[in-house]
Every structure is written in C-alpha cells, then in structure tokens.
Chain A
Amino acid sequence: MKQKRSGRKAYLYIKRTWTLYLMLVLPVAFALIFRYLPMTNISMAFKDYNMFKGVWASPWSDPIFKWFQKAFQTKDFWFALRNTLMLNGLDLLFGFPLPIILALLLNELAFKRYKKFTQTIVYLPHFLSWIIISGIAKQLLAPRTGVVNILLGRIDVGPINFLTEHGLYVATYIALGLWKEMGWNTIIYLAAITGINPELYEAAEVDGASRFRKIWHITLPGIRSTIIVLLIMNMGRILGSEFDRPYAMANDLVMKVADVLSTYVYRVGIRGMQFSLTSAIGLFQSVVCVLFLFAANSLAKRFGERGIW
C-alpha cells in the first residue's frame, strides 16, 4: 500500500515537472555531445593513428599499450614528469598560502578606499598573458640589457642569469607565477571572509580579543571550508600543466628543468606528428590528476570537512 502511494507520488511529481526535465535535455545533450563524445577519441592512445584515416579507421596498436610503453621508456618523458611535479609542487607550496595571508591582511585594512585600490592593483597582473609577462621578464632580467642587471651592475653585483641558470630559472618561474596570480586568488577568500557573521567579531571584541586572536579564532576558521575546497582543486592540478607559461619562459639553456609534460607533448607529439603518443601521455596525466583529486577529497572528509562531493 505504502509502495503504491509512493509510486503515485512519483507519478504526480513527474506529471507536474516533466517539462522542466525536458528542458534539461538540451544542456545534458550538450554535455554528452561536446564533452563526452569527443572523449571517445581517447582511443587514439591505443591506436596507430593515421591522420588521413581518422581515429576510428586507424588500426589498434600492437601491443595495446605500445604508446604508453614508448613514453615511459623515454628519458625526456621522465624529465618532463619530474619538472611538472617540481614546478607545480613549488607553485602549490608558495602559491597556495600567500593569497590567504594577503586576503587576511587586506581584510584588516581600516581605510576602505586604500583596500579597494590595493586589491585592484594586485589582481591586475592576472589579466596579462604569459607571452607578455615573459617578454617583460626578458626586458627586465636579461643579463646584459636587462634593467635589473644594469642596476645591479652599478653596485658591482652580477650579472645574474635569472633566466638561463637552472636554479635561478626555477625561482624566477615561481616568483612570476606568484606575482601574476596572487592577487586574483585572494578574491574568493575575501568573498568568504565577508560571509562571516560580524556578531562573532563584536563578541570577541567585548571579550577583549586582540586583532591577531580574532584572525586566528574567527576569520581563519570561517574560511576553512573554502581553503579546503581550493586545496582539493589545486591538488587535482598537480600533474596537469599550463602550457603558455613554461613554453613562453623556457629557453635552450634551461630545458633540463623547464620542459614540463605539456610542452613535451607539444614538441614531441604535436609538432613531431606522434598524435597517439600525445594522447597516451595526456591520458596518463588526466588519470593521475583524477587520482590526486579523489585522494585529496577523501583526506578532507577524514578530517571532518565537506569535500567537494
């Protein structure tokens, strides 16, 4: 009897809302066609792709993991993998906490206009493309004509090869990334901070809490879930790599530390017309990213946070 009623309930629900579901068909179809259908071309990673035959008519490779084996046997692939992990790891290490600190500092500014002004200034670099930034970096940091080295030369220092020595290159790479994205990444934290109930601060004030205490006991816990979500999403990107940044900044002298998976795939796969190899590496990269994402998410849940699903 109960079952029947619930069946009737579902029927009524569908009868009332079926047009809404019908409307949902379009976005779902969009996702299926433009997001999932193209993914079937991943099969390229298991085929000897011939560009004139297309993905489907190309023969399966023998053995089926041929391109994966080929990639894993190449020394340069491991270099690229190591560099990707190193550069992204350093980016996470420095690039993740800094926006939080900056957001906290901005939040403490009493003079609202100055706060707005600073905020705008620090997030403007986000809108510059890496091509432009690498050009600026070359103008500023080149050993002979770079402004920085010319100034250092005045005080008898240098020239410092910011862009051509391995260690310095990595430092420059990370620093420029911080400079570009730090301000932009504060936006979400600032938004989360605004969502904190002001009564908590008032109560803390009454209790005589210092500024630092308020940050530690109210602001930070207030944005903790935001921090966790962003951390999980960043973990998902640890092996993914942007292309324009390493591609624009690298040069022949630092290839050993500058070549990451995305640039490796571009050089060897796309320019070298080894599309199957490219797909295999791309697939490997995506699978590892998804694993990281799951791991970070379950870790977050274990620590009592909500995670992202």
Chain B
Amino acid sequence: MKKKLLSILLVFMLVVSVLGACGTKNGDDTKDPGKEATKAPTKAPDKEGEDVFDEPVDELPEYSEITVEIFDRGTDGGKTDPTNNYYTDWIKEKVLEELNIGVTFVAVSRWEETQQLNNLMAAGTAPDICMTYSGDLVANYRDLGGLVELSPYIDSYLPDLKEFLGPDLALPGRDMIQRNMDSTTGEIYSLPARRMNVAQVTTFIRKDWLDKLGLGLPTTTQEYYDALVAFKEQDPGGVGANNVVPFTMTSDVRWRASTILESFVDPNLSTEERWVNSVIDRQYLLPGYKEGVRFLNKMYNEGLIDNQFALYKDDTDSDNLIKSGVVGSFIHNWDQAYRDTPGLLRDLQENVPDAEIVSIDPFVNSAGQTAKGLYDAAGLNYFIPSNCENVDGALRYINWLSKFENRYYLQIGDEGVTHEMVDGVPQLIPAENEKIMNSPQNIDYTMMINGLDVGDVSKNAAALAGSYAVDADLIVKAYEDAMRDGRPAIIVPVTLSAAGPYTQVLTDKGNELMSTAVTASPDNFDKVWDDGIADWRANGADEIIAERQTKYAEYIASSAN
C-alpha cells in the first residue's frame, strides 16, 4: 500500500512540475511590453558618469554581467571557438578588472545572422549588445519597439566612441555617432562602425595568361572582352579548351559583375535619381544598367561566362575554379584574391606555381571614367535590445572597447606572434597557435572599427599594404583601382520605414531576374528583362521608391529652410 501511495505521489509531482513549467512559459508571453520599453540603466545618465571612466580603480560600480553577440564564421583551418579563445579571455579579464563587468559572448552564425537574431529577439534572450550589417533589420526592430533609445547616453556614456567615430564626412555638421539618428525626433537606436577603408570592388585577371598571349593589361571594356575571347580560344593556361572559364561568377550576379554593370550606368544621373531608384541597394532601375546586363548576356552566349554560375549559391564553387587554375578573370572585394581566407592566389600558386592575379580597371563609362561603388564610411550597426537588463554595463563596455589601447591590441595582437613591427608600422603575420584570430584583425570583437587603425593616418595605409601575405605592390594596385573614380555612398539623413517585408522578396526576385536575363537567348533578352523588372516593381519596389521620393523632397525642403 505504501508503495502504491508513493508511486501516486510521484506521478502527481511529475504532472504538477510539467504543468508548472508550462505556466511560466505562458507568463512570459503575456508579459507587459510596456515594461520592457521603459527599462533604463540603473543609474540615471548624467555628467557624473564620465568620472567613472577616468578613475576606474577607486569607484568601480557594483559587479554586473553583460552578454555580447559574436559572429561565428564557421571558418575551418585551425580557427578557435569564437566565444572562448585567447582574445575573449583577454577581453573578459581586462573588463572585469577595469569595469567590474563579467562578459559572456554569444555566438551567432555569420551566415544566418538575421534568422538567428530574429529568434533571439523574439524570445527576449538576445545578447545585451547585438550587431548586424543589415540596416533594414535594425529599422524593423526599431519600428516594433524592440530597441533601447540611446541618444541620452551618447555624451555621458560614450565619449571615447564619439571621439573615435569623429565627424560624419557624408553629412557635414553632424557627428558620425549620430549617423542613425532620426532627424525629426533626435532618437538614436543603433550606433555605426567606422570603416577605415572604403574601397569596395575591383576586377582581377590572370596576368600570366595575358603575358603568354602577348597582351597588356586591358584598359577598355573592348580590350577586356578581347582578352577573354583570347583566353577561351587559345587556352594560354593549357587546361584544355573545354575547361577554360574566361570569367567566373556566382548566382549573385549583381555583385560578381558589378564593375562591368556599373560602367554602363548613365554617369550624369542626379543624386536624387540615383538615391531614389536604388531600391535595397540594387541599381536595376538606373538608366543604362540593362545594357550592362545585355553585355553579360552576350558574354554568356559566347561562352565567356561559366555556364554553371546559376548553380553556385555561394563563392565556394567559383573559388575552387579559380584555385584550380582554369579561371581567367573575376570581380570581387578589392582585396579578395589576396585574403588569407579563402586564399585564392595562395592556393592557385600551389597548383600553378607561376600564376599571377592582378587587379585591373578597364570598364570606362560614357564620361570616360571607371566608376564603381565605394563603401559608406559607416559600416556595421550595433544596438542594445530592449530586453537588456544592464544597459549601463553594455554602454560602458562599448566605450571601453572604443579606447585606442584596447581595440588596437585586439586588432594587431602580440608582436612576433600576429604582427611584426616594420619601420614603426605593424605588419600582420599569420599566427598558428592559440593566438590565431577568428576573424581578420578580430573585426568581430572590435565592432566599432572595420579596417586597421594604428593611430596615425599616414601609417594606416602602410599598415594596410603590409597586412597581407603577398607583395605590397599588388595590394596598392588593387586599392588604387578600387578607389579610382569611386562613387561615394549617397547618404540622405531621413528615416525610412523598414523595407523588411519586401527586402527578402526583392533580393530573391532580383537574383532570379539577373540569372534569367544573363542566360536568356539574345533575341529573348528584352522580354525576359522587362518582364522581370515589371515583376520586381510590382512586388514592392514601386512602393519603396514612392516613399524615398517623398522623403527626399521633404529633406530638400527642410534643409532649404
């Protein structure tokens, strides 16, 4: 009998505990949203806050903890755990010592950051400091009331960040830290990173192939085209006539052919025309762009472009072709060929020892310039979600990280291990032990900076050229090519409603449009392109353009006053 009673008791306990757990879950769901929005730092922001930073040893605030998002790039080749390695240990130790804050890193896949961040935000478990390259995502969270408004804390909590970001060159009279500020309300929901280097894209070609054919580096679109035809017909690499890929790209045509496409766009467009019609950063609607795609279509139909490009959903296949030595030319990040990851030139030279990849700048537009996009000086966005319970700590951490000595150490690491000093300039060298960096220059930890800053403008360029494992001349050439006639990003300080519901559809439709147009038969090209554009417009592009039009007019009117 006793046994029976006991078992009944156990059953009841189990039932109660299961039901109980469910009750808590429901409780979370119905939590008053207003409460979250009003959550503020434990300490009211005031001028006294600054004193804390100056004399950290005496008046350390009470111990608290924060969580910080970190990208997991999933890179192979002996890389370390992004949440637990030599550099995270260094950060944790220093922050505990100087700020009395315990830091925990939360990994988010770099390749699925949007989805994972969405899940974390919806569950109310997002890290106290989050980051994303998608301004659109930030706008979405902002509109849904999910972010902490930061404008009251800028001066009191973030003096070092403000100083480092400096004035905003794209918007005279404003500080870069205010880049994401709403012009009408003055509210700030996310902070920008500063790009030290705005070079974006260049064209690479196999110089050893050109040499074998007795051709110089192409300086016009026609010369470039002729070179590709020669690659195809004469197979200078001796890889087999059927295997030559004169030009490789992926299904991301817009990006992997951007220097070609850009050269067809009308150079005389006004700022307004360009800005208003560049929906989700795509230029499909700009006059001339279609002719650029037609040129790609011609290249494709003549067998100059890899006929499998549409099957390549990421860079991997295209990279492997380049490394195996069958590719004549490609377009990518201005330093892509020379980066340690994916190591295009390095691996290519293992297969073909005398291979050379150099940057060229042949695509001249109707104004005689080789126009191409440049990055905006403001990069990644980072923000504090409203579920954060330690806004105070999160802000102090951001400011701490902005101090030169902290970010500088994280960028270059230890002398003799991750860098060597040459003429007073650090030259990065690949590390091979526990001090190997998870991302180049620990970019994922130093969220407010993109690119090496050694504290001196003149030395930054030398440091940049020295931060690759290849001849500095190659880097300088690629950099100059990428910057020549570069078109600065157009910044219009208006707050647009999030394109969220449209962005994904338009991105996908855009990719489909480009792939189908490039592979269409030449006779059918106009129809495919025009139908695709009509579809693109109907799926939200027109609505976005209308809003941009209105906002731009308002902005011009308000700045005229």
Contacts and interface: CB of A to CB of B under 8 A. Distances in A.
Interface of A: 19, 22-23, 25-26, 29-30, 33, 37, 50-57, 76, 138, 142-145, 153, 159, 163-164, 251-253, 255, 267-268, 270-274
B512 A267 contact: no
Contacts of A51: 118, 121-122, 144, 146
A144 B308 contact: yes
Interface stretch (B157-165, B392-400, B467-475, B503-511): B503-511
Nearest to B11: A22
A138 B14 CA distance: 51
Nearest to A137: B311
B504 A267 contact: yes
Interface of B: 4, 7-8, 11, 14-15, 18-19, 22, 28-33, 36, 114-115, 118, 121-122, 124, 140-141, 144-146, 242, 251, 306-308, 310-311, 313, 386, 500-505, 508, 511-512, 514-516, 519, 539
A253 B310 contact: yes
Given A22-B11, A37-B22, A142 B311 contact: yes
Given A25-B11, A270-B115, A253 B501 contact: no
Given A268-B505, A271-B504, A52 B146 contact: yes
A19 B519 CA distance: 70
A33 B500 contact: no
Contact of B310 (A22, A53, A164, A267): A164
Contacts of A252: 251, 310, 511-512, 514-516
A23 to B, nearest CB: 7
A52 B115 contact: no
A144 B307 contact: yes
Contacts of A52: 33, 36, 121-122, 124, 141, 144-146, 386
B14 A26 contact: yes
A159 B303 CA distance: 13
A267 B505 CA distance: 7
Contact of A54 (B29, B311, B514): B29
A51 B11 CA distance: 36
A31 to B, nearest CB: 12
Most buried by B among A37, A55, A145: A145
B148 to A, nearest CB: 12
B256 to A, nearest CB: 13
Given A22-B8, A54-B30, A56-B30, A267 B307 contact: no
A51 B251 CA distance: 32
29 contacts: A22-B8, A26-B15, A29-B15, A30-B18, A50-B144, A51-B144, A52-B121, A52-B122, A52-B144, A52-B386, A53-B33, A57-B33, A138-B311, A142-B311, A143-B307, A143-B308, A144-B306, A153-B242, A164-B310, A251-B310, A251-B313, A252-B511, A253-B515, A255-B512, A267-B504, A267-B508, A270-B115, A272-B500, A272-B505
A76 B508 CA distance: 12
A257 to B, nearest CB: 12
Contact of B500 (A30, A145, A273): A273
Contacts of B308: 142-145
Contact of A19 (B4, B15, B311, B516): B4
B289 to A, nearest CB: 18
A159 B539 CA distance: 35
A268 B29 contact: no
Interface centre among B308, B313, B508 (most CB of A within 10 A): B308
Given A145-B308, A251-B310, A252-B251, A272 B144 contact: no
B499 to A, nearest CB: 10
A54 B519 contact: no
Contacts of B516: 252-253
A271 B22 contact: no
Contacts of B11: 22-23, 25-26
A54 B26 CA distance: 10
A272 B313 CA distance: 19
6 interchain residue pairs of minimum CB distance: A252-B515, A272-B504, A51-B122, A52-B146, A54-B29, A271-B504
Contacts of A57: 29-30, 32-33
A164 B307 CA distance: 10
A97 B313 CA distance: 35
Given A22-B8, A26-B14, A253-B516, 4 more contacts: A138-B311, A159-B307, A252-B511, A270-B115
Nearest to A58: B33
A27 to B, nearest CB: 11
A33 B19 contact: yes
A270 B117 CA distance: 12
Nearest to B137: A273
Contacts of A33: 18-19, 22
A56 B29 contact: yes
Nearest to A161: B307
Contacts of B7: 19
A34 B515 CA distance: 44
A69 B114 CA distance: 27
Contacts of A138: 311
A143 B500 CA distance: 36
Contacts of B36: 52
B10 to A, nearest CB: 10
Contacts of A163: 311
A251 B251 contact: yes
